[in-house]
Chains A and B, each alone.
Chain A
Amino acid sequence: MGESNEDIEQMFSNLLGEMDLLTQSLGVDILPPPDPKPPRVEFNYSVGFKDLNESLNALEDQDLDALMADLVADISEAEQRTIQAQKETPQKQPQSASLCVPSFSGTTSLGYGANVAATSQYDDDLPPPPADPVLDLPLPPPPPGPISQEEEEAQAKADKIKLALEKLKEAKVKKLVVKIHMNDNSSKSLMVDERQLARDVLDNLFEKTHCDCNVDWCLYEIYPELQIERFFEDHENVVEILSDWTRDTENKLLFLEKKEKYAVFKNPQNFYLDNKGKKENKETNEKMNAKNKESLLEESFCGTSVIVPELEGALYLKEDGKKSWKRRYFLLRASGIYYVPKGKTKTSRDLACFIQFENVNIYYGIQCKMKYKAPTDYCFVLKHPQIQKESQYIKYLCCDDARALSQWVTGIRIAKYGKTLYDNYQRATAKAGLASRWTNLGTVNAVPPAPPSTGVKTDPTQANGQLPQATQSMNTALGEDWRHLETTKDKKPDPGLGSHDPGAPRAQPLPKSSLPPPPPPVRRSSDVGGGSPGTPPKAKGAAARFPAPPDDLLPPPPPPPPPVEDDELPPPPPDFNDTPPDFVPPPPPSFAGDLGFPLPPPPPPPKRQENPGPPGGGGGEQDFMSDLMKALQKKRGNMS
């Protein structure tokens, strides 16, 4: 572990340097304010990290593993008890469905410079994720109250039933440890259970990364083999998608910002009012004010049925199993993509169906020009989610320009998902709004809040430079997104683009402000679980094991400036890659000590019950898992 110590020291000195730079650049004093509350980052910094390292050392890998083992033991013990209590109610064997999505090593040839997944050494140092992520959680029988014997019995029985049901359900819940690549060359491992939607996972990631939570963040899947990629829609079930991947897949999951995700809701006119009257069109589009946009969206998405943008035009279609591309005239309708057969008109009755959307997902094709000799690089791909290798059932289409590509992809998404897309957007906006308010509250004395976005067109070069992306993201016209993307591709190694994270610098000074009460994490309230009464004890149990409840209530403790910010600072330290980006400040020593010892089965402390918003059915359980993961993350961050 000596090596890891050194790493940590190195990292701290890096951080120190960065913080200095940041201080200068912000022109704000980040020295610990005379605040009675010990702000953690600064505390560590001023006290010196040597001591801390020592306390950290006490927490060895093995300890953590032991903790896990204890947990599992406790669990099985409790399970035994419950089983006996139930007179051996047949239990379904938990399906051990842990699939560790293998980390993808080596730099990809893909664009999006920021997301190039480089394997850093610390990746290899990591202890393997716990072998058995499927945990049947112990449910201590609720303490019998002062009630009559019969009632008590009935109560006990009812509880047992609930418990058994809970377990039945639990046993079937599939969980995956997923490695998610961040936009700063790092990655995070995350426990995702079967019931979680992409939105939930994103919320988890927001909590862990302290990004600005804007609506453009998405989970992004990349198929290096097929050279296709797409973002998950927020309502998609992550585990379901990932189970379609093959075991030895090279596919990756990224966490990054994509403006295309909700571009249609920011500038609906680009999709709905595009009638190719070049000049006049642009004029009207720029004139489109917020009110008109809103009414356009309302008209398109809030009626009895969603209006799919009228879209037609010539596209190149890659012929099945051949290398040639054929130009055809395609039309988008709510029911699918159609083409005009040779010698026919484009009236409804003559159209031939090319594909319907029920069984296919839409992907962006990357560098199809190289791989498939496509006429242009603006390709989109339709394939059944389960197909993972090259196949004649994958349809490749190629547009003339970026604008058309974006219109087609968005149009297809609208046709496929309908109003769900709009609902997703509204949820995302709500989430982003909450987050930014919180951030603004916390940073009011440190950083002026981001200037309200204006419709000012930003030059791509400018975007590459100093302006935080958030300013631009709201109102950038679509064409620009694309130019932007192109520049990204061209300047792949330039770290200044995709990886800048405007949220991070704002989040950083957060701790030393006088901490307004944080909003309860949205994730909990939005949990899908049925709010069954069987869960609270679990949550209590979790709290008992990790006596750092603020972790759950507050957004996780503020990190030192995440290395993301390196990109904004002129000279990134050379050993930047070694810095574990998901570094979370080490827990206070007492916490570390606690962690070291196996804990007795939890007598439920009342703490958790005062949570704002009672944890939902799946929530408590999931919280527990995420706590566990958090602990692991911390551990890992420290070890490397």
Chain B
Amino acid sequence: MAGMKTATGDYIDSSWELRVFIGEEDPEAESLTLRVTGESHIGGVLLKIVEEIKRKQDWSDHAIWWEQKRQWLLQTHWTLDKYGILADARLFFGPQHRPVILRLPNRRALRLRASFSQPLFQAMVAICRLLSIRHPEELSLLRAPEKEKKKKKEKEPEEEVYDLTKVVLVGGVAPASFRGMPAHFSDSAQTEACYHMLSRPQPPPDPLLLQRLPRPSSLLDKTQLHSRWLDSSRCLMQQGIKAGDTLWLRFKYYSFFDLDPKTDPVRLTQLYEQARWDLLLEEIDCTEEEMMVFAALQYHINKLSQSGEVDEPAGTDSGLDDLDAALSNLEVKLEGSAPTDMLDSLTTIPELKDHLRIFRPRKLTLKGYRQHWVVFKETTLSYYKSQEEAPGDPIQQLNLKGCEVVPDVNVSGQKFCIKLLVPSPEGMSEIYLRCQDEQQYARWMAGCRLASKGRTMADSSYSSEVQAILAFLSLQRTGGGGGGSGNHPQGPDASAEGLNPYGLVAPRFQRKFKAKQLTPRILEAHQNVAQLSLSEAQLRFIQAWQSLPDFGISYVVVRFKGSRKDEILGIANNRLIRIDLSVGDVVKTWRFSNMRQWNVNWDIRQVGPE
């Protein structure tokens, strides 16, 4: 062994002194000096260090980091010579797993221990296992953008950081499920809260914050993102990440395998969050109509997650339910124990009759709203001059099946109109119904909506629809239209605040429209998605995001062979796209299936796909 001396004190075994710092890379770290030879094994050195420290501690996670070479000495059977370590090497004896703060796709921060010694890819596998996200290969880490972080620090002093550093996973087995969440989350209230944060969508962001956050203004800006991705074949330590640093966790490759709301709520939610932020921050462009749908879905998702409606198995077959209901009804009937005729109530269809003011826009007409006696039965709306004439022929009869129902409501102005666009063999006829108050409006509106889908007011969803409309109106009364002022508190009570349309759309729509204009449009779009369950809505959101034409293209600045100027190469999951830097037009597309090869000259940053 190293350290044999002569009587004069000279070393005779060609041993030398190796200085090892204890702890993470820290200039003031305590250090040890060991006597080693070139043949010493790393394992032996480790053992010696631990003996020297004389502290009782679990050292199993510790390893030696060679600072100059930026390399972990993980092969314990290698000798110092084999590694090429000499006396001048700066070695640090520190833990391989260190805490980092991950900024999740939902913009929340989470502290956890990540492996600093394994290649990032493997580190990601471990992280995803901890977060119970399947398919870790789809995610990676980014460096947090520097300057922006500082600004944020100044303005938002305290931010809740969820902590998962103490959670230890049992190796090998797949995490078992316990109380509806992976077992390792159910240890404490804290981790439980963390799981909820992971698996449930977050409330919409403050519109002001949204406006403040940087948005890419050009394709060039979009390319910036990709310089921040960490290399997945090297470890975090090698890439200059220090313990406690903030990293972004994102889905890197835009092709998602096997999305299943049942098995991976976290993955689905985080993907949804990433999609949402992508849209809100204008990383991906969409049209006005598309934005309204996205906004409506966000509103819906938010409403569901706030109301504590944790994902139930999406809509059990309603037809089956009906059958069951009918069956039990019949059973009661046959027993003769039912006092009322339930079957009758089941088969008779409720109708609405009331005085409403009706307006039919026509060419060359100056008539406004006129009072009529309106009867709404099944899916048909008929109106008469007066109640007395009701048994006779109506002035007009409209079958609302397949019609478009658009709310035209101004709560503060006490205007409750329903605009109907009713298709008929001759074309579409437009008609406005004006109701007196919220109650009346809610009943008629709910009826119209059901009728447009071919259902009658006997449908079980009628009363809930009425309630939803009423609730909605009251929301509009309290908080509607106030968007953009930024006074609204964020957090769990965000739903009570009502619909703040500015939190749901990208800033450019905030500039383009007033909240008053946005709200009805979002509501209109919401009609189509109101029946979805939480995970269905999230999935729908992701799908809509995926079907945007610009979806999944990563932009990189390159220089093409034979070209003098910088251009942009868009990389999608099935093709490469050459894009003109200044105009943004697509110059050429190569599909991977048709490409023979591509050549990259890293020095002059030239690419040449063929």
Give residues in A with beta carbon < 8 Å to B.
86-87, 89-90, 92, 157, 160-161, 164-165, 168, 244, 246, 273, 275, 284, 292, 295-296, 299, 303-308, 310, 333-336, 338, 347-349, 351, 353, 356, 358-359, 384-394
The answer, yes or no, to whether B190 is at the interface (CB within 8 Å) is no
Contact of A334 among B330, B402, B548, B589 (CB under 8 A): B548
The distance from the CB of B215 to the nearest CB of chain A, in whole angstroms, is 12
Other contacts beyond A90-B347, A157-B334, A388-B426: 20, CB < 8 A: A87-B334, A87-B336, A160-B334, A161-B327, A299-B574, A304-B256, A304-B539, A305-B546, A306-B547, A308-B547, A333-B547, A333-B548, A335-B547, A353-B289, A359-B402, A359-B423, A387-B424, A387-B426, A389-B426, A394-B427
Q: Which one of B106-114, B125-133, B280-288 is at the A interface?
A: B280-288
Contact A348 B334 (CB under 8 A): no
CB-CB under 8 A for A89 and B546, given A349-B508, A358-B528, A387-B425: no
Q: 1/0 per position for B277-306, CB-CB distance to A under 8 A? A: 000000001111110010000000000000
Contact B424 A334 (CB under 8 A): no
The distance from the CB of B517 to the nearest CB of chain A, in whole angstroms, is 16
The distance from the CB of B270 to the nearest CB of chain A, in whole angstroms, is 15
CB-CB under 8 A for A384 and B402, given A335-B544, A349-B508: yes
Contact of B427 among A296, A335, A348, A393 (CB under 8 A): A393
Contact B327 A335 (CB under 8 A): no
7 A–B pairs (Cβ distance < 8 Å), ordered by A:
A296-B593, A304-B543, A349-B285, A359-B402, A384-B428, A385-B423, A387-B424
The A-contacting residues of B in range 167-220, CB under 8 angstroms, are none
Q: Identify whether the interface residues of B are mostly helix, strand, loop, or mixed.
A: mixed
Contact of B404 among A164, A333, A359 (CB under 8 A): A359
The answer, yes or no, to whether B61 is at the interface (CB within 8 Å) is no
Contact of B330 among A161, A296, A305, A306 (CB under 8 A): A161
Contact B547 A334 (CB under 8 A): yes
Chain A residue nearest in CB terms to B335:
A157
Q: How far is the CA of A91 from the CA of B323 in the complex (A)?
A: 16
Chain B residue nearest in CB terms to A392:
B427
Contact of A304 among B285, B402, B428, B542 (CB under 8 A): B542
Contact A351 B402 (CB under 8 A): no
The A-contacting residues of B in range 306-338, CB under 8 angstroms, are 323, 326-327, 330-331, 333-334, 336
Q: Chain B residues near A160: list those with CB within 8 A.
A: 334
CB-CB under 8 A for A92 and B334, given A305-B543, A391-B428: no
The distance from the CB of B171 to the nearest CB of chain A, in whole angstroms, is 31
Contact B593 A347 (CB under 8 A): no
The distance from the CB of A39 to the nearest CB of chain B, in whole angstroms, is 46
Greatest chain B CB density within 10 A among A310, A336, A348, A353 is at A348
Contact B293 A335 (CB under 8 A): yes
Q: Chain B residues near A388: list those with CB within 8 A.
A: 425-426
Q: Chain B residues near A244: list those with CB within 8 A.
A: 425
Interface residues on B, range: 35 or more
A-B interface contact total, Cβ < 8 Å: 115
The distance from the CB of A450 to the nearest CB of chain B, in whole angstroms, is 30
Q: Chain B residues near A389: list those with CB within 8 A.
A: 425-427
Q: Chain B residues near A336: list those with CB within 8 A.
A: 289
Chain B residue nearest in CB terms to A300:
B574
Contact B330 A387 (CB under 8 A): no
CB-CB under 8 A for A89 and B593, given A304-B256, A384-B402: no
Contact B323 A165 (CB under 8 A): yes
The answer, yes or no, to whether B584 is at the interface (CB within 8 Å) is yes
Q: How far is the CA of A393 from the CA of B286 in the complex (A)?
A: 26
The distance from the CB of B542 to the nearest CB of chain A, in whole angstroms, is 7
8 pairs of A and B residues whose beta carbons are closest in the complex: A391-B427, A388-B425, A334-B547, A348-B285, A305-B543, A386-B423, A305-B546, A384-B423
Q: How far is the CA of A248 from the CA of B539 in the complex (A)?
A: 44
Q: Chain A residues near B594: list those with CB within 8 A.
A: 284
Q: Chain A residues near B256: list those with CB within 8 A.
A: 304
The distance from the CB of B425 to the nearest CB of chain A, in whole angstroms, is 4
Contact B327 A165 (CB under 8 A): yes
Contact A338 B402 (CB under 8 A): no
Contact of B591 among A164, A273, A307, A335 (CB under 8 A): A273
The answer, yes or no, to whether B549 is at the interface (CB within 8 Å) is yes
The distance from the CB of A174 to the nearest CB of chain B, in whole angstroms, is 13
Contact A335 B289 (CB under 8 A): yes
The A-contacting residues of B in range 499-542, CB under 8 angstroms, are 508, 528, 539, 542
Contact B334 A86 (CB under 8 A): yes
Q: How far is the CA of A34 from the CA of B431 in the complex (A)?
A: 74
Contact B287 A353 (CB under 8 A): yes
Q: Chain B residues near A165: list those with CB within 8 A.
A: 323, 326-327, 330
Contact A347 B428 (CB under 8 A): no
The answer, yes or no, to whether B459 is at the interface (CB within 8 Å) is no
Q: Chain B residues near A303: list those with CB within 8 A.
A: 255, 546
CB-CB under 8 A for A386 and B334, given A296-B593, A299-B574: no
Q: How far is the CA of A561 from the CA of B334 in the complex (A)?
A: 56
Q: How far is the CA of A275 from the CA of B589 in the complex (A)?
A: 8
The answer, yes or no, to whether B344 is at the interface (CB within 8 Å) is yes
Contact B259 A304 (CB under 8 A): yes
